[in-house]
Amino acid sequence: MPSDSLQRFHFRDSPVRGELCQLTQSYREVLARHDYPLPVQVLLGQAMAAVALMASMLKLEGSLILQIQGDGPLSLLVAESNERGELRAIARYDHEAVIAGDEWTALTGQGQLVLTIDPDEGQRYQGIVPLEGGSLAAALGHYFQQSEQLPTEFFLFADSQAAGGLMLQVLPGHDDGDDPDLWPRSVNLAGTLRAEEVLALSIEEVLYRLYHEESIELFSAHPLAFKCTCSRARSENALRSIDMDELRAIVREQGGFIEVDCQFCHQRYRFDSVDVEQLAHDALTGTDSLQ
Ligand SMILES: [Zn+2]
C-alpha cells in the first residue's frame, strides 16, 4: 500500500514539471474524527491531495489553505497543509441532503473557491474564484488560469481508504529547442489516469505507466502526515475576537469556564474566569501573548 508521500519530477530538458502525492494514514485520521458520508469523504481526500501538492510549491514557511464555500449540501470544506507536509481538513454539510453518488456540482452548488497563503511571517495572500468546472481539479485549474499564474493542471482521486493526486505545471523558460507538444501530450496522458492506479500503485509505477516514453527525472520523496496546528495560543486569539463582557457572561453561564473545541482534531482548550480576566487585562495593556 502506498505510504503518505509526495514526489516531484520533471521532464528532462523541458520547462514542464510535476508532482504526485498519495495519502492513506493522514486521510484516514481526518475521516476517523467525523462520520462523513462517502461523497464528502471523496471531496475531502481530493482537497487534501490538492493542498499537499500546492503547499510543496510554497517558497516560504507557512500554510496553504483551500476553502470551498457553496450553497449546496456541502456548505464548507477546509483543507490545509504547510511546507512540511502537515495536513488537516474538515467539512460542514447537511447530512440529510447529501445523496450517495453526489459529485462536485451536486455537493457544492454555487459558490467560491478561496486559496489563502498564510506565511509564518509576513502578510497573508488570498485569491478567490467562483466554483467552476465539473470537479475540484477543474476549479483549481480555472483558479490558476484566472490568477494568471503558470499553466497548471490537477488530477485528483479519492475513495474511502486513500487519496492521491497529480499536478502538472509549465515553468517559464520555454525556448524553440523544446518539444512544443510536450505540455498538451503530458496533460492528455495524465487524463487517462484511473483512480485505482493512483490509489494502489507506487508513485514510480504510476509515472512509468504514464510517461515511460518520456525522459523523466524523479526527485526524492517528502513525507506527508496528519497534524493539527491548533494551540492554546490560537484559541486565545479566537477568544480575543469576542467582546469581553460577552465572554464573561458565557463563563458565568457555563459554570466558570469556556471551552474552545478544535473542529479539526477535537482537542479542547479550557479557559476559566481567571484566564478570561487575563485576556481582558492583555487587551487593555496591549500585551500580545502570542509566542
Ligand atoms: Zn486541532
146 in the same domain as 10: yes
Taking the C-alpha atoms of residue 63 and residue 207, their distance in angstroms, rounded to an integer, is 28
What kind and span of H or E run contains 40? helix 38-55
| DSSP annotation of 211 | H
218 in the same domain as 264: no
| 110-126 confidence digits (pLDDT tens) | 999 999 999 989 999 99
108 in the same domain as 38: yes
For residue 100, the model assigns a pLDDT of 85
150 in the same domain as 69: yes
136 in the same domain as 9: yes
Tell me the CATH number at 66: 3.55.30.10
136-153 average pLDDT score: 91
Cell 499537499 maps to which residue? 52
Tell me the CATH number at 248: 3.90.1280.10
Q: Are 158 and 45 in contact (CB under 8 A)?
A: yes
271 in the same domain as 174: no
Distances (CA, A) of 99 to 77, 96, 104, 197, 275: 17, 8, 12, 26, 44
Residue 290 lies in a domain: no
Residue 291 lies in a domain: no
CB-side neighbour CA atoms (13 Å) of 99: 4
- Between the CA of 32 and the centroid of ligand 1 the distance, in Å, is 14
Residue 138 lies in a domain: yes
The answer to whether residue 290 scores a pLDDT higher than 90 is: no
Domains identified in the chain, total number:
2
- Between the CA of 223 and the centroid of ligand 1 the distance, in Å, is 20
- Between the CA of 142 and the centroid of ligand 1 the distance, in Å, is 31
Q: Which are the contacts of 160, defined by CB distance < 8 A and separation ≥ 6?
A: 31, 38, 41, 42
281 in the same domain as 181: no
Q: Are 133 and 169 in contact (CB under 8 A)?
A: no
| 184-240 confidence digits (pLDDT tens) | 999 999 999 999 999 999 999 999 999 999 999 999 999 999 999 899 998 998 898
78 in the same domain as 160: yes
- Between the CA of 88 and the centroid of ligand 1 the distance, in Å, is 8
Determine whether 9 is exposed, middle or buried from the number of CB atoms within 10 Å of its CB (0-12, 13-18, 19+): buried
Domain that holds residue 159: 5-226
